[in-house]
Each structure stands twice: as structure tokens, then as C-alpha cells.
Structure 1
Amino acid sequence: MQAFDVQHPQAYAFNPGPYGTPRNGGLIMELLCSEVLTNAGIPAMAAPQRQWPEWQMPGHVLLNEGRMSSLKAFGDILIPCAPTNLIISVKSQAARERLLYSANSIEAIGFGFFQEADEFWTPRRMVLYKRMGFSAIYMPSETYDELMDHIVTEGHEDFSVNVNGTPLYRPITAFSDDMLRVVGRSSALL
């Protein structure tokens, strides 16, 4: 969260603007997520330019490098596990429909610094996330707390579980431990 906050200062009076020309924001978010995984003990697998990754466990694959870049449409980061690999879809501050449709009906993880809890709290949206293949969606603690308060108040707790019967929505602080628990093992542990 601290690294994200440095990239996106909220106090505009103290924001001098970008140091240089802004780059690909999506790539920055992917690399930030990759760094979180690396710090948790799940390093990025080496992928020499235009080559396949050199598989190692535990490890993750950036789907924008080497020959894996041809699979970029499926997601941003791959976590190897059984019965199907997990695909992490990394977004920045807003989910909108871009997150919903990024799972491509394969087992997916959402990761982002989402600011609007109301993007996630309707029963219809929760059903759609599960139908599209999401096992978990990680967000900042503040957004998560607001989301869960609303879900509980509305009595929609039954909708906010994944296919494994565990929470669909999770605070971003749980991301590292959850990925470390499933990498090279089973996505059913989510």
C-alpha cells in the first residue's frame, strides 16, 4: 500500500506532478504485484526476451514477457498450481467491467487498489465474479471494510463466498500469504 500511495499521492497540494512522462500504468501495477509476490518468496521466473520462462517452484510468471506475452489476453501473472493455474488480473483503482471480464472463465484472482466498494457489493456482481471464475479479489483494507460492512448490513454474506466456500473478497494484506499457500499446490486452498 505504501508503494502504491507514493505512486498515487492523494494530497494534491503536495503533488508536484510526475517526474517524467507517464509510462504504462498497467505495467507499473503488474510489476508492483510481482514485487509483492517476490517479497513473499514467490519470485518471478526468468523469461529471456522472446523465450519461454524457466520454470521454478515456487515462482510466478509475468504474462507480458518472452513467449508468454502471446497469452497476455488471459491475464497479467500466472501462479502455477493444481488443478488449474491461477491467473492474476491486476487493476489499479477501479474495477468496472474490465476486472469482471478479465477472468475469461478460468480460475482467476483480482488484485487492485480499488477505491469504490460499491463496485463489488451487489448480489448480481458477486454472482458474476464467481461465474467468470474468480476465486478471490484483493483490495485495500479500507475498501474491504466498507464492502463487508455493506454486505453484512444488507444480509448478502451468502453471495460473498467463492467456489471453495471461502471469502471471495479479501484485504490486500492477505494476498501474499494466500498465494504462498497455493503456489505449487492446489487452488482449492483458497
Structure 2
Amino acid sequence: MDCLHPHCPAGHGAKSWKDVVESPLLRARKGDKPVLLAALAKDFGPLSSPPYARMLPVPNAALIERLVRLCPCLFNQLDLAATAEAIVHLCEISLGAIITSANVYDAFQVQYPGRESFAFPPVKGSAIGGTVMEMFCSEVLQNEQIPRMETDAEGWPKWRMPGHILLNQKKMKDRQALGDIMIPCAPTNLLISVKTEAARERLLYSANSIEGIGFGFFSQPHEFWTPGRMRLFKRMGFSAIYLPDNTHQEIAGKLDKNGETRFAVNLNGTALYRPLSQFGSDMRRVVGRSSFDL
């Protein structure tokens, strides 16, 4: 996750607040720049734990929104509800690494409500937990060389390959009932349904008979290991469901013990249930190509 905060612990921030203020991405008006720069330079140094909230550097709400989008570390220093992107970035800082398939479950644990372990916590947590989960999945894809597609002036995706589309933003919002993230692929696009810890019927019906992928931090293996549930997942169009490695191991052990491993295959004859650590490489293999290889 990019962050221009000059004191970002990830070490990739701007050289100074002046560079941030002058960034064309910030689109600061000439009259706002001196006041903004003076406030940022005076009050917004290194991050802290516990967090310490400063006053807003300027009263311009639209400018502040653009500023925190460019510098998500600021949620450690401002009394604003953290965005999903900021939570993901603060998890990255806590892990000391970008988020990939190998550590996304660890990142999920960093922000787990009630037992957060941020190195530099946000002043105010995020109230949009579902969007945070989607952003975890998106960040994994981003760091697996399947970047988020930008949007044009009208809000439509600028198609590029390889790439993925967030269905909770701009013009694609009306399609979110079909899934959370789309990966272009033949013969039909892959629609990823992102969940937290429990699958319940919400995951089951989210594929809607379109080729679906489940991605979640599922902690209840019994939701997955009955033959009836596996038949339903396949009937509803799931090609693969990615779970934490420990949950995946529990399911595999139970199926092996009961002699029911043969039910845990998709329409391609390959594994229906897979560990999260395999997600990125699988998506990289099929994006823009064929889901028959999944």
C-alpha cells in the first residue's frame, strides 16, 4: 500500500511534507498550500504508540480526504475513522512486510477487533469490517502482480491486464451483489466473494451460479466438511474456496478420516478447498487466461 507520509515506517514516503503538498495528486489550491504545509511540518512527525490525535491541518474536508488517501499513516495522528486502505497499510507496517498470500492471515490477526496488535494503531478504528476484508484480498492480488484497475473520470474501470476490479467502487457498485472482486478470465470472469470468519449461507449463495471464488479467514471447519455442503458449493458455481492454512488442514484431516476426500473437488477435478497461501499463485496463473486451469 503506497503512503507518502514522510515519516511512514515502511520507508517509502515522500522526502518532506513540501513534496506531499506540491504533489499533483493532492490537488491543493495555491491559497491552501502555505497553511497546510506549516501545520504538517509543525505537528505531524513520526507515528506513535499509543496514537496521539492532532488538530486537522486545514478545515477543507475534501482536501483532507485526498491527503489521508495519499498518506494513510495520518490515521495514527488524526481523529478520523480509518479507511480500509489505512487499516491494511497499518497492518503492513506492523508485519514489516507487504501483504501477500503467505502472510495475509497474520495481517488479519493484527487488526482483529478486541485483540489488535498494531505497531502504530489508528486513533479511531474502522467501522467497515467487510470492506477491510475485501481490501486484504485486493492487496494480496496487488502484490502478486495483479494490480487494482484505476477508474476513469466517469467511474468505469480502465481495463488492463493483468488486473482486478473492486466491485464496491464507483460505477461497479451496482454489480456488488455478484461478488466483491472480479478477475478477468475465460470462459467467464472469476468473481471473488470475500468473507471474514464464518461462511454460513452468505458464502454459499454469493457465487449465484457464476464461476465463483471464496476467500476468507474462516475459523469453523465444520461449515465445509459435509458432503452435502460440498455439493452445494459446486452447484452454486464455486471453483475454489481459500481458507486459513490451519482451517484447511482440519478440513482435509476430517475428510480423509471419513473417507470423503473425493467430494472435495471442483468441476475441473481439482481441489475445491485450498489454503490461503496458495491464493496468489493460483490467481496469477489464470488471470486473463482460462479458469479451466484452476
Same fold flag (TM > 0.5): yes
Name the residue aligned to 1:81.
185
Name the residue aligned to 2:215.
111
Moved over 2 A (4+): 9-12
Query: What CA deviation, in whole Å up to 9, does each residue of 1:106-127 have, x standing for no partner?
Result: 0000000000110000000000
Query: What CA deviation, in whole Å up to 9, does each residue of 1:121-178 have, x standing for no partner?
Result: 0000000000000000000000000000001111111110000000000000000000
In the alignment of these two chains, the number of paired residues is: 188
Distance 1:23 1:10 in 2: 13
Distance 2:134 2:197 in 1: 13
The alpha-carbon distance between structure 1 residues 105 and 26, as it changes in their structure 2 partners (threshold 3 A), is same
Contact 1:49 1:66 in 2 (8 A): no
User: What is the identity, as a one-letter code, of the residue corresponding to 1:60?
Assistant: H
Q: CA deviation at 1:184?
A: 0.2
TM-score (norm 1): 0.94
Distance 2:143 2:195 in 1: 20
Task: Kindly report which structure 2 residues correspond to 1:131-146, keeping only aligned pairs within 5 A, or say none.
Answer: 131-146=235-250
Contact 1:47 1:65 in 2 (8 A): no
Name the residue aligned to 1:95.
199
Query: What CA deviation, in whole Å up to 9, does each residue of 1:32-90 have, x standing for no partner?
Result: 10000000000000024752100000000000112111101000000001000000000
User: Residue 103 of structure 1: SS of its match in structure 2?
Assistant: coil
User: What is the identity, as a one-letter code, of the residue corresponding to 1:117?
Assistant: P
Higher gyration radius (CA): 2
The alpha-carbon distance between structure 1 residues 21 and 176, as it changes in their structure 2 partners (threshold 3 A), is closer
Name the residue aligned to 1:56.
160
Contact 1:44 1:60 in 2 (8 A): yes
User: Residue 170 of structure 1: SS of its match in structure 2?
Assistant: strand
Q: CA deviation at 1:10?
A: 7.6
Contact 1:34 1:44 in 2 (8 A): yes
Q: CA deviation at 1:22?
A: 3.5
Name the residue aligned to 2:137.
33
Name the residue aligned to 1:3.
107
> Which protein, 1 or 2, shows the higher relative CO under an 8 Å CA cutoff with sep ≥ 6?
1
| Alignment partner of 2:169 out of 52, 60, 65 | 65
Name the residue aligned to 2:3.
none
Q: Are positions 1:126 and 2:126 aligned together?
A: no
Please tell me the root mean square deviation across aligned C-alpha atoms, in Å: 1.8
Distance 1:147 1:189 in 2: 23
Distance 1:19 1:28 in 2: 16
Name the residue aligned to 1:158.
262
User: Residue 135 of structure 1: SS of its match in structure 2?
Assistant: strand
Distance 2:285 2:258 in 1: 32
Contact 1:88 1:109 in 2 (8 A): yes
TM-score (norm 2): 0.61
Unaligned runs of 5+ in 1: none
